[in-house]
Amino acid sequence: MPIKKTLVISNQNTEGPMDDGNAPPDHLQPFMLDVSQLRGRIVRLPQVANDILAAHNYPPAISRLLAEALCLTTLLAGMLKFDGIFTLQLKGQGALKTMVCDITTGGMLRGYAYFSEEKLAALGAAPDLMTLAVKGYLAFTVDQANSAERYQGITELAGSTLTEAVQHYFRQSEQIDTGFVTQIDQDKDGAWKIAGILLQQLAREGGTPLSDTDEDAWRRSMMLLNTLQPGELLDEVTPLNTILYKLFHEEGIRVFPPLAITKGCRCSIDKIRTVIDGLSVDEQQEYADNGVITVTCEFCNKHYEIPVASIDKGE
Protein backbone atom coordinates (compact mmCIF):
# COMPACT_ATOMS: atom_id res chain seq x y z
CA MET A 1 0.00 0.00 0.00
CA PRO A 2 1.49 3.38 -0.95
CA ILE A 3 2.25 5.98 1.68
CA LYS A 4 -0.36 8.70 1.42
CA LYS A 5 1.67 11.75 2.31
CA THR A 6 5.12 13.01 3.16
CA LEU A 7 5.97 12.55 6.79
CA VAL A 8 7.10 15.55 8.74
CA ILE A 9 9.37 13.87 11.24
CA SER A 10 12.76 15.42 11.85
CA ASN A 11 16.08 13.58 11.65
CA GLN A 12 14.60 10.37 10.41
CA ASN A 13 14.97 8.35 7.29
CA THR A 14 13.37 5.24 5.98
CA GLU A 15 16.34 2.97 6.37
CA GLY A 16 17.01 0.74 9.30
CA PRO A 17 17.73 -2.85 10.14
CA MET A 18 15.13 -4.81 12.09
CA ASP A 19 17.56 -5.79 14.80
CA ASP A 20 18.79 -3.14 17.19
CA GLY A 21 22.14 -3.01 15.36
CA ASN A 22 24.70 -1.09 17.34
CA ALA A 23 22.13 0.72 19.47
CA PRO A 24 23.25 1.08 23.10
CA PRO A 25 21.25 -0.84 25.75
CA ASP A 26 19.39 2.34 26.75
CA HIS A 27 17.75 3.68 23.62
CA LEU A 28 14.57 5.11 22.18
CA GLN A 29 13.52 3.57 18.88
CA PRO A 30 11.16 5.62 16.68
CA PHE A 31 9.02 3.75 14.16
CA MET A 32 6.19 4.19 11.72
CA LEU A 33 3.34 1.90 10.72
CA ASP A 34 2.84 2.51 7.01
CA VAL A 35 -0.50 0.75 6.57
CA SER A 36 -2.25 2.42 9.49
CA GLN A 37 -0.31 5.71 9.24
CA LEU A 38 0.63 5.74 12.90
CA ARG A 39 3.89 6.73 14.46
CA GLY A 40 5.39 5.20 17.55
CA ARG A 41 8.36 4.97 19.83
CA ILE A 42 9.65 2.12 21.96
CA VAL A 43 12.18 2.41 24.77
CA ARG A 44 14.07 0.25 27.22
CA LEU A 45 16.16 1.77 30.01
CA PRO A 46 18.09 -1.07 31.68
CA GLN A 47 20.91 1.08 33.02
CA VAL A 48 20.16 4.80 32.86
CA ALA A 49 16.88 4.93 34.80
CA ASN A 50 18.30 2.49 37.31
CA ASP A 51 21.31 4.77 37.87
CA ILE A 52 19.00 7.74 38.37
CA LEU A 53 16.81 5.85 40.85
CA ALA A 54 19.74 4.30 42.75
CA ALA A 55 21.32 7.74 43.25
CA HIS A 56 18.14 9.02 44.92
CA ASN A 57 17.32 5.90 46.92
CA TYR A 58 13.68 6.95 47.48
CA PRO A 59 11.13 4.69 49.20
CA PRO A 60 9.73 2.00 46.82
CA ALA A 61 6.42 3.75 46.03
CA ILE A 62 8.23 6.95 44.99
CA SER A 63 10.93 5.06 43.06
CA ARG A 64 8.30 3.12 41.14
CA LEU A 65 6.42 6.27 40.20
CA LEU A 66 9.65 8.02 39.19
CA ALA A 67 10.57 4.96 37.09
CA GLU A 68 7.24 5.28 35.26
CA ALA A 69 7.74 9.04 34.86
CA LEU A 70 11.25 8.55 33.40
CA CYS A 71 9.88 6.01 30.93
CA LEU A 72 7.02 8.30 29.84
CA THR A 73 9.34 11.32 29.60
CA THR A 74 11.65 9.40 27.29
CA LEU A 75 8.75 8.26 25.11
CA LEU A 76 7.53 11.86 24.91
CA ALA A 77 10.95 13.24 23.97
CA GLY A 78 9.62 12.95 20.41
CA MET A 79 7.51 16.04 21.14
CA LEU A 80 10.74 17.98 20.55
CA LYS A 81 10.79 18.93 16.89
CA PHE A 82 13.84 21.17 17.35
CA ASP A 83 16.70 21.33 19.82
CA GLY A 84 15.31 21.77 23.29
CA ILE A 85 14.11 20.23 26.53
CA PHE A 86 10.93 18.30 27.28
CA THR A 87 9.75 18.35 30.92
CA LEU A 88 7.11 16.21 32.58
CA GLN A 89 5.99 17.56 35.93
CA LEU A 90 3.64 16.05 38.46
CA LYS A 91 2.39 18.10 41.40
CA GLY A 92 0.24 16.91 44.29
CA GLN A 93 -0.95 17.93 47.71
CA GLY A 94 -0.70 14.55 49.45
CA ALA A 95 2.46 12.59 50.24
CA LEU A 96 3.91 13.47 46.82
CA LYS A 97 4.56 17.18 46.39
CA THR A 98 6.54 17.32 43.14
CA MET A 99 8.04 14.96 40.61
CA VAL A 100 10.03 16.37 37.70
CA CYS A 101 11.70 14.57 34.80
CA ASP A 102 13.26 16.18 31.78
CA ILE A 103 15.08 15.09 28.66
CA THR A 104 17.09 16.95 26.03
CA THR A 105 16.83 16.42 22.29
CA GLY A 106 20.17 14.62 22.63
CA GLY A 107 18.67 12.06 25.02
CA MET A 108 20.08 13.30 28.36
CA LEU A 109 17.58 12.25 31.02
CA ARG A 110 17.17 13.20 34.70
CA GLY A 111 14.46 13.29 37.37
CA TYR A 112 13.70 13.78 41.05
CA ALA A 113 10.83 13.72 43.53
CA TYR A 114 9.95 15.78 46.56
CA PHE A 115 7.63 14.20 49.08
CA SER A 116 6.58 14.02 52.74
CA GLU A 117 8.06 10.91 54.38
CA GLU A 118 5.57 11.14 57.20
CA LYS A 119 2.53 11.25 54.91
CA LEU A 120 4.01 8.52 52.70
CA ALA A 121 4.52 6.17 55.67
CA ALA A 122 0.81 6.49 56.50
CA LEU A 123 -0.25 5.27 53.02
CA GLY A 124 0.80 1.62 53.13
CA ALA A 125 3.07 -0.29 50.76
CA ALA A 126 1.68 0.39 47.30
CA PRO A 127 -0.54 3.47 47.13
CA ASP A 128 -2.00 4.27 43.71
CA LEU A 129 -1.41 7.55 41.89
CA MET A 130 -4.47 9.39 43.20
CA THR A 131 -3.63 8.43 46.79
CA LEU A 132 -0.01 9.55 46.41
CA ALA A 133 -0.68 12.81 44.59
CA VAL A 134 -3.92 14.14 46.08
CA LYS A 135 -5.50 16.91 43.95
CA GLY A 136 -2.64 16.41 41.53
CA TYR A 137 -1.97 17.81 38.12
CA LEU A 138 0.42 17.15 35.28
CA ALA A 139 2.35 19.68 33.24
CA PHE A 140 3.99 19.04 29.88
CA THR A 141 6.54 21.65 28.86
CA VAL A 142 8.57 22.02 25.70
CA ASP A 143 11.38 24.59 25.79
CA GLN A 144 13.04 25.27 22.48
CA ALA A 145 16.76 25.92 22.65
CA ASN A 146 17.97 29.42 21.70
CA SER A 147 14.45 30.75 21.91
CA ALA A 148 12.17 32.14 24.58
CA GLU A 149 9.40 30.07 23.03
CA ARG A 150 7.76 27.67 25.44
CA TYR A 151 4.81 25.37 25.04
CA GLN A 152 3.00 24.16 28.14
CA GLY A 153 -0.01 21.93 28.61
CA ILE A 154 -1.54 21.33 32.03
CA THR A 155 -4.17 18.83 33.10
CA GLU A 156 -5.70 17.45 36.27
CA LEU A 157 -4.69 13.90 37.11
CA ALA A 158 -7.09 11.25 35.86
CA GLY A 159 -6.63 7.48 36.07
CA SER A 160 -5.05 5.13 38.56
CA THR A 161 -1.55 5.18 37.04
CA LEU A 162 0.69 7.89 35.64
CA THR A 163 0.58 6.16 32.25
CA GLU A 164 -3.23 6.42 32.22
CA ALA A 165 -3.03 10.06 33.29
CA VAL A 166 -0.64 10.92 30.44
CA GLN A 167 -2.81 9.02 27.95
CA HIS A 168 -5.85 10.94 29.20
CA TYR A 169 -4.03 14.24 28.65
CA PHE A 170 -3.33 13.45 25.00
CA ARG A 171 -6.92 12.40 24.31
CA GLN A 172 -8.53 15.34 26.09
CA SER A 173 -6.14 18.24 25.67
CA GLU A 174 -4.13 17.48 22.55
CA GLN A 175 -6.93 15.53 20.86
CA ILE A 176 -4.40 13.11 19.49
CA ASP A 177 -5.19 9.47 20.12
CA THR A 178 -2.16 8.07 21.87
CA GLY A 179 -1.69 4.62 23.34
CA PHE A 180 0.96 3.93 25.96
CA VAL A 181 2.21 0.75 27.55
CA THR A 182 4.81 1.04 30.31
CA GLN A 183 6.33 -1.94 32.07
CA ILE A 184 8.20 -1.45 35.34
CA ASP A 185 9.70 -4.15 37.52
CA GLN A 186 12.30 -4.53 40.23
CA ASP A 187 14.42 -7.67 40.38
CA LYS A 188 15.34 -9.47 43.58
CA ASP A 189 18.58 -7.49 43.84
CA GLY A 190 16.59 -4.25 43.78
CA ALA A 191 17.56 -3.24 40.21
CA TRP A 192 14.78 -1.51 38.27
CA LYS A 193 13.75 -2.67 34.81
CA ILE A 194 11.92 -0.11 32.74
CA ALA A 195 10.47 -0.16 29.23
CA GLY A 196 7.60 1.33 27.31
CA ILE A 197 5.96 1.88 23.96
CA LEU A 198 3.85 4.66 22.50
CA LEU A 199 1.57 4.60 19.48
CA GLN A 200 0.15 7.85 18.17
CA GLN A 201 -2.01 9.24 15.40
CA LEU A 202 -0.30 11.76 13.19
CA ALA A 203 -1.60 15.24 14.01
CA ARG A 204 -4.48 16.17 11.70
CA GLU A 205 -4.86 19.63 10.30
CA GLY A 206 -7.47 21.79 12.02
CA GLY A 207 -8.78 18.96 14.17
CA THR A 208 -10.27 17.07 11.19
CA PRO A 209 -12.08 13.99 12.53
CA LEU A 210 -10.70 10.54 11.78
CA SER A 211 -12.06 8.79 8.71
CA ASP A 212 -13.62 5.34 9.18
CA THR A 213 -10.52 3.80 7.62
CA ASP A 214 -8.31 5.66 10.10
CA GLU A 215 -10.55 4.61 13.01
CA ASP A 216 -10.25 0.98 11.90
CA ALA A 217 -6.49 1.27 11.59
CA TRP A 218 -6.25 2.81 15.05
CA ARG A 219 -8.38 0.10 16.66
CA ARG A 220 -6.50 -2.66 14.85
CA SER A 221 -3.10 -1.30 15.90
CA MET A 222 -4.16 -0.79 19.52
CA MET A 223 -5.39 -4.39 19.58
CA LEU A 224 -2.00 -5.51 18.33
CA LEU A 225 -0.29 -3.34 20.96
CA ASN A 226 -2.42 -4.90 23.66
CA THR A 227 -1.21 -8.39 22.75
CA LEU A 228 2.01 -7.47 24.59
CA GLN A 229 2.52 -9.79 27.54
CA PRO A 230 3.30 -8.40 31.02
CA GLY A 231 7.06 -7.95 31.26
CA GLU A 232 7.61 -8.75 27.56
CA LEU A 233 9.31 -5.40 26.88
CA LEU A 234 11.66 -5.90 29.83
CA ASP A 235 13.32 -9.06 28.55
CA GLU A 236 16.71 -7.74 27.49
CA VAL A 237 17.47 -10.84 25.45
CA THR A 238 14.90 -9.79 22.85
CA PRO A 239 15.90 -6.73 20.79
CA LEU A 240 13.24 -4.00 20.74
CA ASN A 241 12.97 -4.25 16.98
CA THR A 242 12.16 -7.94 17.23
CA ILE A 243 9.27 -7.04 19.55
CA LEU A 244 8.10 -4.35 17.11
CA TYR A 245 8.22 -6.79 14.23
CA LYS A 246 6.31 -9.41 16.17
CA LEU A 247 3.59 -6.91 17.11
CA PHE A 248 3.19 -4.93 13.92
CA HIS A 249 4.71 -6.73 10.91
CA GLU A 250 1.34 -6.77 9.14
CA GLU A 251 1.16 -2.97 9.42
CA GLY A 252 4.29 -2.34 7.34
CA ILE A 253 6.68 -1.27 10.04
CA ARG A 254 9.62 1.04 9.42
CA VAL A 255 12.21 1.98 12.02
CA PHE A 256 14.31 5.14 12.16
CA PRO A 257 17.72 5.80 13.73
CA PRO A 258 17.56 5.16 17.47
CA LEU A 259 18.37 7.81 20.08
CA ALA A 260 20.80 6.79 22.83
CA ILE A 261 19.53 7.76 26.28
CA THR A 262 22.06 8.89 28.88
CA LYS A 263 21.89 9.94 32.51
CA GLY A 264 22.94 13.54 32.84
CA CYS A 265 22.34 16.78 34.63
CA ARG A 266 22.60 20.32 33.36
CA CYS A 267 23.26 21.94 36.73
CA SER A 268 26.36 24.11 36.94
CA ILE A 269 28.05 26.46 39.36
CA ASP A 270 27.18 29.37 37.06
CA LYS A 271 23.45 28.56 37.17
CA ILE A 272 23.55 28.20 40.96
CA ARG A 273 25.39 31.55 41.23
CA THR A 274 22.73 33.24 39.13
CA VAL A 275 20.04 31.97 41.53
CA ILE A 276 21.99 33.14 44.58
CA ASP A 277 22.69 36.50 42.94
CA GLY A 278 18.92 36.91 42.68
CA LEU A 279 18.57 36.73 46.48
CA SER A 280 18.79 39.79 48.70
CA VAL A 281 21.85 40.14 50.94
CA ASP A 282 19.66 39.31 53.95
CA GLU A 283 18.43 36.12 52.30
CA GLN A 284 21.98 35.17 51.39
CA GLN A 285 23.03 35.62 55.02
CA GLU A 286 20.08 33.50 56.12
CA TYR A 287 21.13 30.56 53.90
CA ALA A 288 24.85 30.92 54.62
CA ASP A 289 26.65 28.82 57.17
CA ASN A 290 30.09 30.14 58.13
CA GLY A 291 29.99 32.37 55.09
CA VAL A 292 29.22 29.53 52.67
CA ILE A 293 25.91 28.69 51.00
CA THR A 294 25.60 24.99 50.25
CA VAL A 295 23.27 24.16 47.40
CA THR A 296 22.31 20.61 46.47
CA CYS A 297 20.99 19.87 42.99
CA GLU A 298 17.75 17.95 43.45
CA PHE A 299 18.19 16.13 40.16
CA CYS A 300 21.68 14.71 40.69
CA ASN A 301 22.45 15.36 44.40
CA LYS A 302 25.60 17.25 43.53
CA HIS A 303 26.65 19.71 46.26
CA TYR A 304 27.83 23.20 45.44
CA GLU A 305 29.51 25.35 48.05
CA ILE A 306 29.40 29.04 47.26
CA PRO A 307 31.27 31.44 49.57
CA VAL A 308 28.98 34.39 50.27
CA ALA A 309 31.94 36.74 50.08
CA SER A 310 32.36 35.89 46.41
CA ILE A 311 28.72 36.82 45.83
CA ASP A 312 28.76 40.12 47.69
CA LYS A 313 31.17 41.64 45.21
CA GLY A 314 29.32 44.92 45.38
CA GLU A 315 29.94 45.48 49.07
Kindly list the residues in this chain that would bind Zn ion in the complex (CB under 5 A). Answer: 265, 267, 297, 299-300, 302
Of 234 and 297, which CB lies nearer to Zn ion in the complex structure?
A: 297
Q: How far is the CB of 116 from Zn ion (least distance, A)?
A: 23
Of 220 and 302, which CB lies nearer to Zn ion in the complex structure?
A: 302
Q: Which is it for strands 108-115 and 262-263: parallel, antiparallel or unpaired?
A: parallel
Which DSSP letter does residue 296 get?
Answer: E
Q: Residue 211: helix, strand or coil by DSSP? A: coil
Q: How far is the CB of 300 from Zn ion (least distance, A)?
A: 3
Q: Which residues contact 150 (CB under 8 A, 6 or more apart)?
A: 141, 142, 143, 144
Of 172 and 268, which CB lies nearer to Zn ion in the complex structure?
A: 268
Q: How far is the CB of 106 from Zn ion (least distance, A)?
A: 16
Q: How far is the CB of 267 from Zn ion (least distance, A)?
A: 3
Of 113 and 198, which CB lies nearer to Zn ion in the complex structure?
A: 113
- The number of residues making up the chain comes to 315
Strand order across the 108-115 sheet:
150-156, 137-144, 84-91, 96-104, 108-115, 262-263
The angle subtended at Cα 166 by Cα 196 and Cα 32, nearest 5°, is 50
Q: Residue 185: helix, strand or coil by DSSP? A: strand
Of 202 and 265, which CB lies nearer to Zn ion in the complex structure?
A: 265
Q: How far is the CB of 161 from Zn ion (least distance, A)?
A: 28
